[in-house]
Structure 1
């Protein structure tokens, strides 16, 4: 078994991808993947090797992803817009052998300190004329002789995806071929998505939602997946209408943006048969606005990177506003309150068990043990409740987790970066409501004596070291941070901290 087999059954002449205006049929896609698989094999890529992808939503991402996993290697999708220090840390932690650099990451890659990445043997560039120094052209590998798919066990790792997860700082979650194939099969079993669908998606492929729920599941059913680079509500609605998209997945921030754009006509989404929302809680007001103004009812789901994406879905069942739907077949859910399971209607921590649940974090048994029980339950840290019909409602989320436009941000990571500034003595971070992104990052900083660094300087300091969505949008300077008797920061009381006068 191998995840790459999902592309094989589909009509060779059907359109698999639309990317940057270019259509690629399933026959062309399979041929390109087979040849790149041969090219990767020719440069020494074998089963278990990690292949890091610094690619945007593009054909090159899809081809390289399936070529790597088809060899039994491990794909490692990374945010192509991450700054060099973040890439250095992530690539080093997984011991990547190959790094694929797309044009969007070429400048950043030139600032990466290669001495910190001793395992990286090969850099492949998709940008022929402007390839980074020392990089090889991926086009040369696409001319190689085709190599078939290597069968692997269901337990073999297919993907490493960085997530703040349920255990704190970003870690690489291991998803096996069996994990991903199970979740694809669960989505297909709803019977909602078909080979006739055109799936429009701006969701990034380095995120579990875009990677598995959209790209892999879409190709798994033989649909056409349209990969979109950037989002603004006007061009997005125009693209959806012009291309006659039938399935539109997105994070709540995207749906909110549509409702806030007064110039969109009421018939903007007449071709849309299925609208999906995930990554964070969809406000009921946004659901109602999309339904009342455009006639679109959004099906909400719930999942995590550690569950290969989705746990519950509203597909194939009546939608209940505010609910993330019911568990997929084959997925068990417990709501745990203290040392017992919560009663129906009561709140508990969401625990999940099933073949879609990951085996753990890469090279991190301590973090793995913190979230996985001996009998296979994943403790998500998210709080939820269920009604009599099994519909799930997310009440709260993992302690301290900030979700910005659907992306997980843990305060500890932002605090670590701000603390590297020489004029910062202490720092605490929390999430605050934001009308467009759901939440934003707010930092509370205690300066070293005699310092007078300003807010803009510290934000720029963060931008050099973190992805933009993780950076604080507001910094408050305070005299001291609230701590408990043992000295631990009490984040819920940060807003009560006294500002510097």
Structure 2
């Protein structure tokens, strides 16, 4: 049996040959088949070559989800250039910092999205017109900037096309594919480098457990600048030969129409999004009958909804290129494994160690999770290998967890997020899970305040009170884990986030402190709109 394609170009060519007429990517305004995606990205690759982009060139891409994003990203990566997806949430100073960290040489950016004018902001921050040569010390590597429109319109002649094909044929599985920015909840963003072979191996390892095959029509709203969008969306669909359905700005009614129109079979959005869509679908009579088990439970018929806690919580990170452990998404876990993340996927070794000594711990002992294997990151921008890996190749994740005797992994939060309350350990992630299990809660964000005290910002339905939340969560959490500071929110948009989309903990603490309105004997809710 021939080896599976392990570079973007070879995979895309094979997918177009096998299923030329199958839709590859669909958004509300456009769609393209695998044949069209192959031909379109190849044509654009020739234009990139004509513009001086080649193997190893670092190309930043700042644009919203859609077919155009996918076509551009695949054109960049198929010739061996390194894709640097950039967040549409970035402010100009944040954008400059990431361009510098990743040594971006060419930037392709949307003019505007959701009120943010990226090129105008960059022009003002650099105090120059965005024409080559830029020659600005803050971004010394940057030599060319294109609008998304002009960048996607680059064309090359036959000679450039021949060079593009030759470059694509020379790419190896070990060559860098992408630099994805991530940050811990307390850290500065870092550029994580992945290879073609590592990224595709990580994606393939989880396809079966994620219930994805060539017949899947996968809805995924996660931004493509996150590993959850690029890896679990774009490359997952490509590796499986599936259809990816996405949108730049999810909206309840608009998303329902998209799900109905495209007969989406697998919904992998956010839990709170699924709950809002389920309520709207029931009110509007929307037809979501194409959805199958493995989708978010809220959108499935009652008889297909699993009992709470019976399915695995897929777990991974940017450094592991998405989930590295799981369990079939349409199957209940064995009773002893409920609450776990499933078992590690093939290609990833998992150890749980004493973070002080690095010694492996016995089953069911909580320690730091270490990873090793061919699917992990190549490295981190600006850091030596010795700074990223141990001498024998283990990556120290900073996550806390335990492995049971059957190899199921249980996650227990971050090592830097553990809080001691009156001498007892509290993991904010555990409190968040308990709050999110309540039917009236659409989202929960938990942190600590000086004291120390546990504080929670909770996105919940109208009419919800702190008293009711506190009473319900006390049935599943020990008393010392129950938040003493509460802020009830009507929308997730009120939760502060950084440029990578993760919750900005310092800003969240400031919000909770400023709006602190409930103590153990006070019932004001602090609801904000």
Using the size of structure 1 for normalisation, the TM-score is: 0.73
1:330 equivalenced with 2:347 (yes/no): yes
Indicate which of 449, 458, 463 corresponds to 1:434.
Answer: 458
CA contact (8 A) 2:368 2:415 kept: no
The 1:430/1:362 distance shift into structure 2, 3 A limit, reads: farther
Gaps of 5+ in 1: 128-136, 278-286, 412-427, 438-443, 445-458, 479-501
1:248 equivalenced with 2:267 (yes/no): yes
| CA deviation map 1:451-496 (0-9, x unaligned) | xxxxxxxx99x99999695454715369xxxxxxxxxxxxxxxxxx
| CA deviation map 1:285-335 (0-9, x unaligned) | xx6x66784734465311110011121022277333532221111221111
CA contact (8 A) 2:89 2:499 kept: no
Indicate which of 369, 374, 378 corresponds to 1:350.
Answer: 369
Correspondence for 2:130: none
Q: How much does 1:258 deviate?
A: 4.4
**SS of residue paired to 2:55:** coil
| CA deviation map 1:388-447 (0-9, x unaligned) | 432222122242399999x9x9x9xxxxxxxxxxxxxxxx9998443369xxxxxx9xxx
Q: Which residues of 2 match residues 13-162 of structure 1 at below 5 A? A: 13-105=21-113, 107-112=117-122, 113-114=125-126, 115=136, 116-127=138-149, 137-142=150-155, 144-145=157-158, 146=161, 147-148=164-165, 149-162=168-181
**SS of residue paired to 2:117:** helix
CA contact (8 A) 1:165 1:171 kept: no
CA contact (8 A) 1:199 1:223 kept: yes
Indicate which of 304, 325, 336 corresponds to 1:295.
Answer: 304
Distance 2:344 2:404 in 1: 12
Correspondence for 1:6: 11
Q: How much does 1:144 deviate?
A: 4.8
| CA deviation map 1:362-400 (0-9, x unaligned) | 1222xx645521111111111122334322221222423
Correspondence for 1:209: 228
Distance 2:497 2:291 in 1: 37
Gaps of 5+ in 2: 1-5, 127-135, 419-427, 437-442, 462-484, 486-492, 516-529
1:200 equivalenced with 2:216 (yes/no): no
1:393 equivalenced with 2:410 (yes/no): yes
Q: How much does 1:24 deviate?
A: 0.5
The 1:431/1:244 distance shift into structure 2, 3 A limit, reads: farther
Q: How much does 1:162 deviate?
A: 0.7
Q: How much does 1:275 deviate?
A: 3.3
CA contact (8 A) 2:49 2:156 kept: no
User: Which has the larger displacement, 98-107 or 17-26?
Assistant: 98-107
**SS of residue paired to 2:46:** helix
Q: How much does 1:259 deviate?
A: 6.0
Correspondence for 2:193: 174
CA contact (8 A) 2:312 2:339 kept: no
CA contact (8 A) 1:371 1:380 kept: no
**SS of residue paired to 1:64:** helix
Task: Give the paired residue count.
Answer: 421
CA contact (8 A) 2:182 2:500 kept: no
Q: How much does 1:165 deviate?
A: 4.7
Question: Which has the larger strand fraction?
Answer: 1
Distance 2:293 2:112 in 1: 31
The 1:475/1:432 distance shift into structure 2, 3 A limit, reads: closer
The 1:345/1:469 distance shift into structure 2, 3 A limit, reads: closer
Q: How much does 1:270 deviate?
A: 2.8
CA contact (8 A) 1:165 1:304 kept: no
CA contact (8 A) 1:331 1:352 kept: yes
CA contact (8 A) 2:210 2:294 kept: no
Distance 1:319 1:218 in 2: 25
The 1:399/1:474 distance shift into structure 2, 3 A limit, reads: same
Q: Which residues of 2 match residues 281-320 of structure 1 at below 5 A? A: 293=302, 295-297=304-306, 300-315=313-328, 318-320=331-333
Q: CA RMSD in A?
A: 3.9
Distance 1:191 1:430 in 2: 34
Correspondence for 2:131: none
Correspondence for 1:441: none
Correspondence for 1:229: 248
Distance 1:356 1:160 in 2: 14
Distance 1:143 1:429 in 2: 61
Using the size of structure 2 for normalisation, the TM-score is: 0.70
